[in-house]
Amino acid sequence: MNVPNHVAIIMDGNGRWAASKGMPRNYGHAKGSNTVELITQAASDLGIKYLTIYAFSTENWSRPADEVDALMKLMREYIKRCIRKAAKNNMKVRIIGNTSKLAPDIQELIAELETSSAGYTGLNFQIAINYGSRDEMIRAVRRIAEKSADGLLKPEEIDEELFASYLDTKEIPDPDLMIRTSGEQRLSNYLLWQMAYTELYFTDVPWPAFTKEELVKAIEVYNGRNRRFGNI
């Protein structure tokens, strides 16, 4: 099997999965966080080099406060576990998104996770937290404009490569395959610049029920596609 270099995932359906079992939404998020561990392991075993997951979007703040709190609590617990997992599995972890808006203790945990795993050479694992593609691009444009206003950058020096180097995903290759679980077929402000030529795969399976077998199925479909990088 020819595995894609970079797989990006929108982990959708935690709430609906929990409701189908007569359980509260936060139960679905907790199960979803277990699936993250399962899928990082599977990605690593399959030889995928880059995996990026959408854990919390810039729009997710508008959910009820108790759900946001529960997601942040899960994030804390997950990052702590991830520090150990990264060391065990040689995994380099980076957070994308506007982390300056997160609680100070979460920012500290993120710094510890990124610093401690920076030298690992296995799976490159990106977690999008308080991430939105439009927000990412606006933050990039502001920094570019500041540099230009300071006379350090000429407008004609701005090209695709330079712009990409100002994104949170700098140094990370564009995704080859994007998987969205639970039936919805949209991008929801996820990696819009980076996914210009990415193959899209949608499955009805909700995230808490997603497995290595489902990941393999997505890769098999990807392998059957005729990829193009321009002219349609």
3-class secondary structure, 7: strand
CB of 196 to ligand FPP, least distance (A): 24
* CA–CA dist 121, 123 (Å, integer): 7
Task: Centre a 10 Å sphere on the Cβ of residue 49 and count the other Cβ atoms it contains.
Answer: 15
Rule CB under 6 A: is residue 181 a binding residue for ligand FPP? no
90 is catalytic: no
Q: Does 78 bind ligand FPP (CB under 6 A)?
A: yes
| Stretch binding ligand FPP (CB under 6 A), from 73-81, 138-146, 168-176, 187-195 | 73-81
Among 16, 49, 92, 217, binds ligand FPP (CB under 6 A): 16
When asked if residue 178 is in the footprint of ligand FPP (CB under 6 A), the reply is no
Reduced to 3 states (helix: H, G, I; strand: E, B; else coil), residue 1 is coil
Q: Which of 5, 60, 89, 223 is catalytic?
A: 60
Does 92 contact ligand FPP by CB under 6 A? no
> Do the Cβ atoms of 54 and 85 come closer than 8 Å?
no
Q: Report the alpha-carbon distance of residue 60 to residue 65 in Å, rounded.
A: 10
Q: Which DSSP letter does residue 179 get?
A: E
Q: If binding means CB under 6 A, how many residues of this protein chain bind ligand FPP?
A: 19
- Residue 12: CB partners within 8 Å, gap ≥ 6? 180, 181, 182, 183, 184, 206, 207
Hey, which bits of 101-203 come out as E strands?
Answer: 124-131, 177-180, 199-202
Q: Looking at 70-78, 145-153, 169-177, 186-194, which segment touches ligand FPP (CB under 6 A)?
A: 70-78
Least distance from ligand FPP to the Cβ atom of residue 206, Å: 7
12 is known as an active-site residue: yes
Q: What single-letter amino acid sits at 75? A: M
- Closest C-alpha to 120, from 147, 97, 94, 159: 94
Question: Which residues 23-42 are close enough to bind ligand FPP by CB under 6 A?
Answer: 25, 29, 32-33, 36
Task: Candidates 10-18, 110-118, 140-148, 160-168: pick the segment binding ligand FPP (CB under 6 A).
Answer: 10-18
Collapsed DSSP state (helix, strand, coil) of residue 166: coil
Residue 58 as a binder of ligand FPP (CB under 6 A): the answer is no
**Which residues form the catalytic set?**
12, 60
Residues that bind ligand FPP (CB under 6 A): 11-16, 25, 29, 32-33, 36, 55, 60, 71, 74-75, 78, 127, 207
